[in-house]
């Protein structure tokens, strides 16, 4: 089998998605997600101008060799643009392999290690009372694991809380908006939030919380310690992880489990975190970390150190990535949990898919390949629109992590 053609589809059914389609001489095609929120066109150009021409004529079964060719070949390596482009290619090739062999991708990764994939959803409210209502709503939908975020008195905006009605979508069309941040009110508010959640819903729910890289290690240590009575499943991205040893401080002070990695794009971003057992869950994602080929290696490496996976699954990862994640989660042994922020109906219509949610778990379906498609005629009705993630400033004006 040979690759004969490849092209990038750019569509914006409410938010932007970059999808790579790779075609072969046997009529089988594969899809890969290359969406990098707020920097979408950079990945599209990287693929169209620099990657696709090098793929023509190659054997799509050679996922390892093609991955190495795209990673080592250009000399310049890593970074989210490069790795999202490689991730899109790798995903599309595994999709082709599955279709050619008439089997779902999870069967190529070791087969089913579990029946269903435990997922966590995102509940939020402008204050604690509203957040409790949203937790009740998601519990009624069947979720067994719920991440809870609430607005903070005195701050106009924070991560995870929609400004208007409807679901939470961090990217906004137009130029970046500015959010406001102060750590102390946040640190006082989160333990109160989880005390109320446990009081209202008891011990049965798995509870998670996203700090979204806003704390220093010692602040995160304080938060982790104060949350211990509420038995969280994890705190997510407590501190930025460029300095991996920052996690040692958090680790040494709290038994609250730690998860990080949604902005990672390489095993090397997590090397010290894993081998020192400073984290419990690695959250890298198939798109941004370069596809199945390196993610399988990352999971296998993490398994040696008692670290499980908890792949990022926000709405900026397209249904193609969601499908890929569910095949991966089904197959690997050290799966922990999968994030699930459902797409809009418009997005789901552009990407018809086999995967589904039932009673707190998701299932990849048993269609050959990834089990997801792209309706190109419908996609064409939603042209690209510039959109950015917000930026964040402390109340004195200092730019900080969003």
- Going by the DSSP 8-state scheme, the letter that residue 335 receives in this structure is B
In DSSP terms, 208 is beta-bridged to 147, 234
Is residue 209 at the binding interface for ligand EZ4, with CB under 6 A as the rule? no
Is residue 323 at the binding interface for ligand EZ4, with CB under 6 A as the rule? no
Binding residues for ligand EZ4 restricted to 259-288, rule: CB under 6 A: 262
Is residue 316 at the binding interface for ligand EZ4, with CB under 6 A as the rule? yes
Is residue 219 at the binding interface for Co ion, with CB under 5 A as the rule? no
CA distances from 44 to 17, 154, 323 (A): 10, 40, 21
Number of residues near ligand EZ4 (by CB under 6 A): 10
Query: Which is nearer to ligand EZ4, 94 or 120 (by Cβ)?
Result: 120
CB of 209 to Co ion, least distance (A): 10
**Per-residue DSSP letters for 79-125?**
SHHHHHHHHHHHHHHHHHHHHHHTSBGGGGTTS-S-SSEEEEEEEEE
Binding residues for ligand EZ4 restricted to 24-83, rule: CB under 6 A: 37
- Tokens of residue 294, six digits: 């390196």
Number of residues near Co ion (by CB under 5 A): 2
Contact with ligand EZ4 (CB under 6 A) among 33, 95, 134, 210:
210
Contact with Co ion (CB under 5 A) among 23, 33, 40, 210:
210
- Alpha-carbon distance 42 to 338, whole Å? 27
Query: Which is nearer to Co ion, 67 or 186 (by Cβ)?
Result: 186
Contact with ligand EZ4 (CB under 6 A) among 212, 308, 327, 343:
212
Is residue 280 at the binding interface for Co ion, with CB under 5 A as the rule? no
**Per-residue DSSP letters for 201-230?**
H-SSSEEEEE-TT-S-HHHHHHHHHHHGGG
Residues 6+ positions from 4 with CB-CB distance below 8 Å:
23, 24, 25, 56
Neighbours of 397 (CB within 10 A): 8
- Identify the CA nearest to 71 among candidates 84, 58, 53, 57: 84
Is residue 90 at the binding interface for Co ion, with CB under 5 A as the rule? no
Question: What amino acid positions are annotated as catalytic residues?
Answer: 159, 212
Query: Which is nearer to ligand EZ4, 234 or 382 (by Cβ)?
Result: 234
Is residue 316 at the binding interface for Co ion, with CB under 5 A as the rule? no
CB of 213 to Co ion, least distance (A): 8
- Alpha-carbon distance 64 to 116, whole Å? 28
Is residue 95 at the binding interface for Co ion, with CB under 5 A as the rule? no
Site string for Co ion, 221-250 (x = CB under 5 A): ---------------x--------------
Is residue 95 at the binding interface for ligand EZ4, with CB under 6 A as the rule? no
Query: Which is nearer to ligand EZ4, 99 or 212 (by Cβ)?
Result: 212
CB of 259 to ligand EZ4, least distance (A): 9
Site string for ligand EZ4, 330-349 (x = CB under 6 A): ---------x----------
Is residue 146 at the binding interface for ligand EZ4, with CB under 6 A as the rule? no
- Alpha-carbon distance 194 to 106, whole Å? 36
- Which strand (E) or helix (H) includes residue 192? helix 183-201
Instruction: Tell me the H-state helices in 40-79.
Output: 40-45, 52-55, 63-72
Neighbours of 249 (CB within 10 A): 17
Site for Co ion, rule CB under 5 A: 210, 236
Site for ligand EZ4, rule CB under 6 A: 37, 170, 210, 212, 262, 312, 314, 316, 339, 389
């Amino acid at each position: 089998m040979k690759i004969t053609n490849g092209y990038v589809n750019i569509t914006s059914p409410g938010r932007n998605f970059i999808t790579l389609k790779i075609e072969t001489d046997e009529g089988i095609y594969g899809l890969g997600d290359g969406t990098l929120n707020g920097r979408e066109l950079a990945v599209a150009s990287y693929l169209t101008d620099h990657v696709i021409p090098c793929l023509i004529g190659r054997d799509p079964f050679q996922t390892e060799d093609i991955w190495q060719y795209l990673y080592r070949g250009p000399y310049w390596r890593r970074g989210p643009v490069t790795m999202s482009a490689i991730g899109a290619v790798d995903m599309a090739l595994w999709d082709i392999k599955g279709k050619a062999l008439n089997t779902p991708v999870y069967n190529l990764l070791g087969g089913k290690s579990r029946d269903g994939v435990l997922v966590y959803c995102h509940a939020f409210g402008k204050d604690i009372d509203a957040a409790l209502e949203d937790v009740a709503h998601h519990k009624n939908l069947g979720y067994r694991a719920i991440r809870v975020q609430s607005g903070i008195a005195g701050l106009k905006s924070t991560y995870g809380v929609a400004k208007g009605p409807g679901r939470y979508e961090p990217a906004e069309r137009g130029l970046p908006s500015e959010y406001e941040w102060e750590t102390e009110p946040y640190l006082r508010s989160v333990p109160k939030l989880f005390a109320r959640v446990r009081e209202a819903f008891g011990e049965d729910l798995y509870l998670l919380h996203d700090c979204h890289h806003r704390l220093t290690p010692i602040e995160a240590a304080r938060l982790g310690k104060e949350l211990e009575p509420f038995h969280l499943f994890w705190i997510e991205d407590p501190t930025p992880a460029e300095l991996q040893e920052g996690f040692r401080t958090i680790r040494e002070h709290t038994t609250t489990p730690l998860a990080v990695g949604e902005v990672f794009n390489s095993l090397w971003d997590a090397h010290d975190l894993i081998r020192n057992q400073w984290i419990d869950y690695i959250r890298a994602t198939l798109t941004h970390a370069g596809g199945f080929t390196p993610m399988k290696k990352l999971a296998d490496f993490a398994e040696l150190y008692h670290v499980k996976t908890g792949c990022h699954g926000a709405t900026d990862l397209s249904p193609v990535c969601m499908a890929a994640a569910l095949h991966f989660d089904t197959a690997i042994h050290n799966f922990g949990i999968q994030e699930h922020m459902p797409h809009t109906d418009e997005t789901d219509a552009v990407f018809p898919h086999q995967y589904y949610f039932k009673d707190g778990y998701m299932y990849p379906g048993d269609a050959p390949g990834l089990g997801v498609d792209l309706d190109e005629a419908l996609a064409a009705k939603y042209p690209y629109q510039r959109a950015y993630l917000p930026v964040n400033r402390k109340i004195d004006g200092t730019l900080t992590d969003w």
